[in-house]
Amino acid sequence: MVEGLSILIFLSIALVTVLVALRLGRFRTRAVDRLAHAAEGPAAMAPSSSLLWRELVGRIGSYVPASDRDLPALKRRLIRAGFRHPQAARYFRGARAVLAVLLGAGVLGVGWLTAVFGDNLLLCTGASAWIGFMLPSQYLAGRIRRRKHAIARGLPNALDLMVVCVESGLGLDQTILQVARELQSAHGEICDEFAVMNLEMRAGKGRSEALHNLAERAGVEDLKKLVAVLVQTDRFGTSIAQTLRGHADYMRTMARQRAEEQAAKLPVKLVFPIFFCVLPSLFVVTLGPVITQLIRDIVPMIENM
């Protein structure tokens, strides 16, 4: 019996091993086929599902009515979120329409088949469609917040590197280009903004206009202050190195003050978690056994009276 069980286990493991080896061999064959098709040229490659989905959303977005008054604000928000495609607004409107229809139709179908919503089916359908319509806006707002935080986090390092480059003899344009190259892997968001600013200056825009566009695209207060300092330095012809070093010291001081402010707010923020989460469990642990012992001793005494 034991020998038969051992043979069965051995055969099962061997079969699984063979199946895994055949599966891996198929993966290698498919990878080689993909590389061969890629070497033949892009015309032989079939469009991916993501491209088809993007094309569908774009076509639907082109039919969605849009207000000309709200379009510049939407484009500015998309740029601040990192979407610089010329048709990003059209894709955004298409995504809102598609999500609204899909969520509304899904809730309507589930409610119609299962009767889980009862008489509130139309209300739940409208609410789900509204949620689907608002989801892209919430995603865009979250992406803008994350990108602003990333730019603000990478600005001190970029400013220190700018000080080093300027003091080594580079001009402001070459300094910005060098910072965009060196910090690309560590702080890609602010480096992308610097690269766009450099491209604008190469296209013929003035330095002041390119700096103002940089501040407008990012929407970060610390970067706006840096842009104001650089514009004043360029206008009055003062030393860029001294200006950048002074602004770097100012940013370090402000960062330290913000950290001290957050540390001072910590005891107040901990009052509610301690009062509602820690103290009840502490009372249960400390007073629970005492109350249980009192009930065990007092209840029999009351019953015997």
Q: Which CATH number covers residue 197?
A: 1.20.81
Rounded CA separation 234/231 (Å): 5
pLDDT tens for each residue of 246-279: 888 888 888 889 889 999 999 888 988 888 888 8
Contacts of 156 (CB under 8 A, 6+ apart): 248, 251, 252, 255
Each residue of 249-283: b (16+ CB within 10 Å) or e? eebeeeeeeeeeeeeeeeeeeeeeeeeeeeeeeee
Of the pLDDT bands very low, low, confident and very high (cuts 50, 70, 90), residue 68 is confident
Tokens 């249960």 -> residue: 284
Q: What sign does the dihedral 31-37-41-44 (CA atoms) show?
A: negative
pLDDT tens for each residue of 227-236: 998 888 888 8
Tokens 């965009």 -> residue: 180
Same domain, 111 and 205: no
For the beta carbon of residue 148, count every other beta carbon within 10 angstroms. Answer: 19
pLDDT score at 264? 92
pLDDT tens for each residue of 97-129: 999 999 989 888 888 888 777 778 888 889 999
Of the pLDDT bands very low, low, confident and very high (cuts 50, 70, 90), residue 81 is very high
Same domain, 101 and 126: yes
Rounded CA separation 253/156 (Å): 11
- Domain extent, residue 252, equals 148-265
For the record, the structure tokens of 273 come out as 């978690």
Answer whether residue 242 is part of any domain: yes
pLDDT tens for each residue of 182-218: 888 888 899 999 999 999 988 888 888 999 999 999 8
Of 118, 147, 176, the one marking the end of a domain is: 147
For residue 92, give the nearest of 121, 133, 148 by alpha carbon: 133
Same domain, 255 and 194: yes
Domain total in the chain = 2
C-alpha 277 chain-centroid distance: 30
Answer whether residue 81 is part of any domain: yes
Mean pLDDT value across residues 161-171: 89
Answer whether residue 37 is part of any domain: no
Query: Is-above-0.85 flag for pTM?
Result: no
Answer whether residue 46 is part of any domain: no
Rounded CA separation 210/212 (Å): 5
pLDDT tens for each residue of 47-65: 555 677 777 788 888 888 7
Of 147, 165, 200, the one marking the end of a domain is: 147
CA distances to 5, 11, 24 from 15, in Å: 15, 6, 14
Rounded CA separation 110/112 (Å): 5
Of 123, 147, 171, the one marking the end of a domain is: 147
